[in-house]
Amino acid sequence: MLELARGEGFELVRFTGAEPLTAAREEALRAHAEGRLDGLDWMTNGWLIRATDPGAFLAGARTVVLLALPCHAPEPEPATDGRSRGRVARYARGRDYHRVFEKKLRQMARAIRQELGAAARPTVDYGPLLERPLAAASGMGWLGKSSMLLVPGVGPWVLLGAIATDLVIEPDPQLAKSCGSCTRCIVACPTGALSPEGYLLDSRRCISYHTIENRGPIPRELRPLFGDRVFGCDDCLDACPVGARRFDSHPDFVPGSIDDARPVLADLIALDEDAFTERFRGRAIMRAKRDGMIRNACIALGNTGTSEDVAVLNAALGDHAALVRGHAAWALGRLVRRLGLEQDSAVAALENAFTSEHHTFAREEIAVALAELRDAPGGHR
């Protein structure tokens, strides 16, 4: 099995038994009951129960093979063009890891069936299998206070896949490691999404959840905390002292250019549906969909843009998606107030947009943006 895995380029491989993960199940059901998984609608109690039982994933399963690929590529050289740029989480800067894993796992599973005559079922991410507690049970790493699996020598910078099989393979021992008194990830989280003692993540406050999974409006009070992030968030990973970067990133996760890691926000906002698909085909960013990604770009411009970006947000007020128009209104108000820019033209643009706006959400956002501009120092009442 190790040879098969190595043949597919997996250096990190561990085995665990296929018994139900009772402690993880209890924790996951508690997370669900307390609303910490709100918005992840497919994660029903039934899904979580199946996802903590490898035997439900593959009838007769005896072993789960855990496989990891490192995803910590160095930051590309900073751009010198002075344009406002967003930030994409490291795991999403290269090829879509689902595709990278799928090909390798499918080939491994086929070899297990054909060469070893055993049953095998692979998965990456979408499950139903909770990969972090399984990987912790296999001794691949331990569960950190950031809720990430931390792997000695690599820290949280790994992506996981798994294959359940009915082969009996000696399980690897769990690691006797913990975070100790460290709390860096909890302190670093911009939105307080991690519980004060750590280990518990609240999706409702997590930038990663909102920028990737949330299809609707971003809660207004969270938007200023997003900074320049347009897809995912790495703050609790970046803060983690574990990992001496022993493994280089898998080459497929290395960004091809600065635009893969730090896209120009105005360019994102200009993408229509076809151009979005053209640009992000084969990339994890497709998950956010065009409207979600442009929404994120508007927020990032509001938080970090310059006076040159006012025109970009003015144009976004006329976007075909109400989700984008509403966030563009918020972002325009925030940009103008943050930079102390002359407000009359922004007020005029918002008033103009309001007269032709019929969508409730977008109307409300324009009205709030106008009210905040009028209340701001130098604003007109």
Q: Which residues bind ligand SF4 (CB under 6 A)?
A: 144-146, 150, 179, 182-185, 189, 191, 193-194, 198, 201, 206-208, 233, 235-236, 239-242
> Do residues 262 and 75 touch, judged by C-beta distance below 8 A?
no
When asked if residue 323 is in the footprint of ligand B12 (CB under 6 A), the reply is: no
* Binder of residue 187, out of ligand SF4, ligand B12, none (CB less than 5 to 8 A by kind): none
The DSSP bridge partners found for residue 16 are 64
When asked if residue 164 is in the footprint of ligand B12 (CB under 6 A), the reply is: no
Q: x/- contact string, 192-211, with ligand B12 (CB under 6 A)?
A: -------x-x-x--x-xx--
Told to judge if 274 belongs to the known catalytic residues of this protein, a careful annotator would answer no
When asked if residue 138 is in the footprint of ligand B12 (CB under 6 A), the reply is: no
Question: Sign of the C-alpha dihedral, residues 249, 250, 255, 256?
Answer: positive
Candidate list 38, 81, 96, 125, residue with the active-site label: 125
Which stretch in 148-156, 170-178, 284-292, 356-364 sits in contact with ligand B12 by CB under 6 A?
A: 148-156
> Do residues 198 and 158 touch, judged by C-beta distance below 8 A?
no
- Residue placing its CB nearer to ligand B12 in the complex, 199 or 361: 199
When asked if residue 212 is in the footprint of ligand B12 (CB under 6 A), the reply is: yes
CB neighbour burial string for 64-101, b if at least 16 within 10 angstroms, e if fewer? bbbbbbbbbbeebeeeeeebbbbbbbbbbbbbbbeebb
- Residue placing its CB nearer to ligand SF4 in the complex, 101 or 231: 231
Among 63, 84, 146, 191, binds ligand B12 (CB under 6 A): 146
Give the 3-state secondary structure of residue 162: strand
Give the CA distances from residue 77 to residues 257, 259, 297, 337, 364, in Å, rounded to whole numbers and listed in that order. 9, 11, 21, 31, 41
Residues with Cβ < 8 Å from 55, sequence gap 6 or more? 18, 20, 61
* Binder of residue 252, out of ligand B12, ligand SF4, none (CB less than 5 to 8 A by kind): none
When asked if residue 223 is in the footprint of ligand B12 (CB under 6 A), the reply is: no
* Binder of residue 27, out of ligand B12, ligand SF4, none (CB less than 5 to 8 A by kind): ligand B12
Pick the closest to residue 327 from 241, 249, 261, 269 (CA basis): 269
Can you state the angle between helices 289-304 and 273-280, rounded to 10 degrees? 90
- Residue placing its CB nearer to ligand SF4 in the complex, 233 or 362: 233
- Write the single-letter amino acid at 339: L
> Do residues 304 and 224 touch, judged by C-beta distance below 8 A?
no
> Do residues 95 and 253 touch, judged by C-beta distance below 8 A?
yes
Q: How far is the CB of 280 from ligand SF4 (least distance, A)?
A: 21
* Binder of residue 250, out of ligand SF4, ligand B12, none (CB less than 5 to 8 A by kind): none
Pick the closest to residue 286 from 360, 235, 233, 212 (CA basis): 212
- Residues 7-46 within binding reach of ligand B12 (CB under 6 A): 23-24, 27-28, 31, 36-37, 40
- Residue placing its CB nearer to ligand B12 in the complex, 130 or 373: 130
Q: How far is the CB of 198 from ligand SF4 (least distance, A)?
A: 6
When asked if residue 336 is in the footprint of ligand B12 (CB under 6 A), the reply is: no
Give the 3-state secondary structure of residue 62: coil
**Where on the chain is the footprint of ligand B12 (CB under 6 A)?**
23-24, 27-28, 31, 36-37, 40, 89, 91, 124-125, 127, 129-133, 143, 146-149, 156, 158-160, 199, 201, 203, 206, 208-209, 212-213, 232-234, 236-237
Active site residues: 125
